[in-house]
């Protein structure tokens, strides 16, 4: 299992399966999915991300994100759309700060 995650800016932090599950849960809730669908999405999508992380000692957040979005698109497209919308808003805020 991955012990470390490399963030976009190069910062290294401990890998957290709970953080991955929370991110998926939050975006599924933001997409107004039912509790059952949220639970299903968290289970299926996090399983794929954790399987990928199990093969490495260090993993980039970009790699995890790509896997999560790919699986989320298959399992709950509305949640994937909510994630992409969140990313767009976040990128816009970053550009304004520069």
pTM listed for this prediction: 0.88
Report the distance separating Cα 95 and Cα 17, nearest Å: 30
- For 34, the enclosing helix (H) or strand (E) is none
Phi, psi of 38 (to 5 degrees): -60, -50
pLDDT of 97: 82
Quick: pLDDT tens for 40-56.
Answer: 999 999 999 999 999 99
pLDDT of 6: 97
Alpha carbon 31 to its chain centroid, in Å, reads 14
């Amino acid at each position: 299992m991955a012990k470390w995650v490399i963030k976009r800016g190069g910062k290294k932090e401990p890998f957290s399966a709970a953080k991955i599950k929370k991110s998926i849960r939050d975006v599924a809730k933001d997409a107004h999915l039912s509790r059952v669908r949220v639970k299903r999405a968290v289970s299926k999508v996090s399983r794929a991300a954790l399987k990928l992380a199990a093969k490495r000692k260090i993993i980039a957040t970009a790699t995890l994100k790509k896997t999560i979005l790919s699986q989320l698109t298959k399992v709950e497209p509305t949640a994937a759309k909510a994630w992409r919308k969140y990313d767009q808003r976040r990128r816009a805020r970053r550009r304004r700060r520069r």
